Structure 1
Amino acid sequence: MKRLAKWRLVSLFALLTLLLSACSGQPYLSTLQPAGEVAQKQYDLMVLSTVIMVAVMAVVAVIFVVVLVKYRRKDEKIPKQVEGNHALEIIWTVIPILLILIISIPTVTAIFKFADVDAMEKKNEDGTSDALVVNVRANLYWWEFEYPNEKIVTSQELIVPTDEKVYFNLISSDVKHSFWIPAVGGKMDNNTENVNKFWLEFDSEKADPNQLFQGRCAELCGPSHALMDFKVKAIARADFDQWVTNMQGIEEAEVATTDLAQQGQEIFNQSCIGCHAVTPSNGAPAEARLAPNLTNFGDRSIIAGYLEHDEENLKKWLANPETFKPGNKMTGTYGELTPEQLDALTAYLMGLKVQDEK
């Protein structure tokens, strides 16, 4: 019975290990499937460190077994003592130093390489830079992405070109967060008091426009920390330029085209417009942007950061945001919506799309 209890305990710990390892079937989420230069280098360093550690463990285990068998006590005689053996002392001092150098040199080199953001600091006469820069502002519990050179503000879904460096300015508007795209690289903190800077590159061979990279907040920030997700769409440079052109073509809020959507727009303008914007650049400073920008909401793939993008989920979110994201700032900001109002507001929001012909 005792053995059976032990096996049950071992089985329980094995299952817990699988659960706590955060295994997921979602695409583009694993750090073990790198999809960019930064992630690939980090993966290579992990492999290098693991190989060295396993090799050290194997050598120590072999020595332990040999000593245990060969020099086991057979009688009362005291074995020959080897204190002060200079050769052995040199060996077990030099070898660890060499192993540390093998790990530290490529690690330090990579750190300095990934910290090189000089390209984003070089400004043209008009104040823009030739590099693609994205200001990432973290909020409870959503993400804002501002493209300062392109004068575009969006949220929850980051759009980037492949095969080139994308530079990030990271800051938070409330508490400490952490920006992390596991398959591409990271992570780095979003602080309230200073701006952190780094870059990532998205490999076109690993990126699929029909699949989105998963983004996470990697710093415990509140009750909905686990739900503070965002998505990243990596596309070819030509497609990215077209998206920028489409977004820049929206100078004022879109006018709803159906009667139901027009009713939703009236509801939106009476309540939601106080926090949400429906133009990519409304001129408001970051401190005044209190909620996600909804300019291209109808084109997105998620609602509230993690819900599937469909009308049913949108109505559920609008009806009771607290159910899906406890502690979010949208809860209680407006009165209870009737089913008819939910239908109208949903029709309007789903119609906020960026058309290719613009």
Structure 2
Amino acid sequence: MSRGKRLALLLSTFAIFALMLTGCQEPAKSVFDPKGTAGEMNLDLIMTAIYIMTFVCAVVMIIFVYVLIRYRQKPGDNSIPKQVEGSMKLEMLWIIIPIILLAILAVPTLSTTFSLAETPNEKDALKVKVTAHQYWWEFEYPELGIKTAQELHIPVGKKVHFELTSDDVVHSFWVPELGGKQDLTPGQTNTMWLDAKEPGVYAGRCAELCGASHALMNFEVVAQEQEKFDQWVAKRQKPSSEPQTAEQEAGKKVFSQNCMSCHAIDGTKLKTKGDKAPNLTGISERNKIAGLLENNDKNMEKWLKHPDQIKPGTYMPSFDFLNKKDMNNLKAYLESLE
């Protein structure tokens, strides 16, 4: 096989694999289908950069192909082409054009960056404090008196002002369809805002390498119509957390003996409210357990028994030492929390 054919085969194979990889993107994490104002601003910026880069690549390739054809060695022509050097016009041209292109990209980049960092002027903007931990998310609504974890609820059509910080290492808050990203740094508070134009559940991720379970540090943003959001707020402010059956009462006792030093549950008469791990108020109504597993009885037991196998590096200990009765009672209590 000739060298040219081998090169063509290699390029064709690469093109096929590149085309196949375009289908590997999870739709829930696509920045090209924004559902909020900030996401639309980010997409406009991305497309501006793509247009500029496409233009530059096209010009370079056209010049490259032209030079290959125009100055290729012709049969019987052994002369040396005219040597051109020190052209002031060319040097000024390839200095000025990149400066212009960078300026075109810099203006919207700076404008978008500062706009997304501003505090919303709207008086009814929702305020949320976000604290990142290895490997979970804490969401506090200071004006509503609510603290929850892993699942962020917001009303549709209203700007949400975020204050972001970290409890341990550097993380990054990212909801691809709504906007982002923003770093969360220990000892420092960063700000940003987002909104959702449509109801739905939007995937959130940590976008900064933060440890063994960085790729598993997921959360969800639940965007609801105002009426449903108000109902969620009312339930979180007055949660149903007291046991209703003997099994749940026994499960609460197991929880108080093993879990309450780290976890908090609002609306109970437990002596201690832990603040080292996710708040479990209303956990039965969350879509996911630990931001990863579908919320059902089987996965609840799986998480309680072997959390380190699901999220390597997690600080939560295994509770596989519980006997079957205590495990069932604990699950019954947790699954009753609304």
TM-score of the alignment, normalized to the shorter chain, above 0.5 = yes
> Structure 2: how far apart are the matches of 1:9 and 1:95?
31
Q: In 2, are the aligned partners of 1:151 and 1:281 still within 8 Å (CA)?
A: no
Q: Work out whether residues 248 and 332 of structure 2, in 8 Å CA contact, stay in contact via their aligned partners in 1.
A: yes
How many residues are paired up? Answer: 332
**Which residue of 341, 350, 357 corresponds with 2:326?**
341
Is 1:179–1:187's contact at 8 Å kept on the other side of the alignment?
Answer: yes
How far apart are the structure 1 equivalents of 2:87 and 2:79?
21
C-alpha change, 1:169 and 1:57, in structure 2 (3 Å) is same
Q: Give the CA deviation at 1:281.
A: 11
Deviates more, 1:89-98 or 1:175-184: 89-98
- State which of 135, 151, 159 in structure 1 corresponds to 2:153: 159
Q: How does 1:84-233 map to 2 (within 5 A)?
A: 84-117=86-119, 119=121, 130-204=124-198, 207-208=199-200, 212-233=201-222
Alpha-carbon contact 2:238-2:267 (below 8 Å) kept = no
**Structure 1-normalised TM-score?**
0.83
Contact 1:152–1:281 (8 Å) recurs in 2: no
Greater shift in the superposed pair: 75-84 or 159-168: 75-84
Q: What CA RMSD, in Å, does the superposition of the two structures yield over aligned residues?
A: 3.1
**CA spacing shift, 1:325–1:221, aligned 2, 3 Å:** same
1:77 is displaced (CA, Å) by 3.7
Moved more, 218-227 or 146-155: 218-227
Q: Which residue of 1 aligns with 2:316?
A: 330
**Displacement after TM superposition at 1:97 (Å):** 2.4
Which deviates further from its counterpart, 97-106 or 83-92? 83-92
Distance 1:242 1:65, change over 3 A: same
How far apart, in 2, do the equivalents of 1:7 and 1:325 lie? 42
Unaligned 5+ runs, structure 1: 121-128, 354-358
Superimposed CA distance per residue, residues 11-45 of structure 1 (whole angstroms, 9 cap, x where no aligned partner): 599659967x79344x5321221111111111121
Q: Distance in 1 between matches of 2:116 and 2:257?
A: 46
> What is the Cα deviation at residue 297 of structure 1?
0.3
Cα drift, residue 246 of structure 1 = 2.1
SS of equivalent to 1:274: coil
Letter in 2 for 1:262: E
Partner residue in 1 for 2:304: 318
Provide the C-alpha distance between the structure 1 equivalents of 2:325 and 2:13, rounded to a whole number of angstroms: 52
Residue segments in structure 2 that go unaligned for 5+ positions in a row: none
Aligned partner of 1:272 among 250, 253, 259: 259
Cα 1:335–1:51 change in 2 (3 A) is closer
Partner of 1:299: 285
CA-CA distance at 1:103 after TM superposition: 1.3
1:71 CA drift (Å):
2.8
- Displacement, 1:335? 7.2
- In the alignment, the residues of structure 2 paired with residue 8 and residue 85 of structure 1 have an alpha-carbon distance, to the nearest angstrom, of 38
Alpha-carbon displacement from aligned partner over 1:296-348 (angstroms, at most 9, x marks no partner) = 1010010111011100000111112111112211115x671111111111111
1: CA distance between counterparts of 2:174 and 2:252? 35
1:96 positional shift:
2.1
Aligned to 2:38: 38
Which amino acid letter does the alignment assign opposite residue 350 of structure 1?
E
Identical pairs, percent: 42
Q: Give the letter aligned to residue 307 of structure 2.
A: P
Q: Does the C-alpha gap of structure 1 residues 281 and 343 become closer, same or farther in structure 2, counting only changes over 3 Å?
A: closer
Q: 2:55 is matched by which residue type in structure 1?
A: A
2:233 counterpart of 1:244: yes
Q: Could you list the per-position Cα deviations for residues 180-234 of structure 1 after superposition, in whole angstroms to 9, with x for gaps in the alignment?
A: 1111111111111211111111122xx32xxx21111111111111111111100
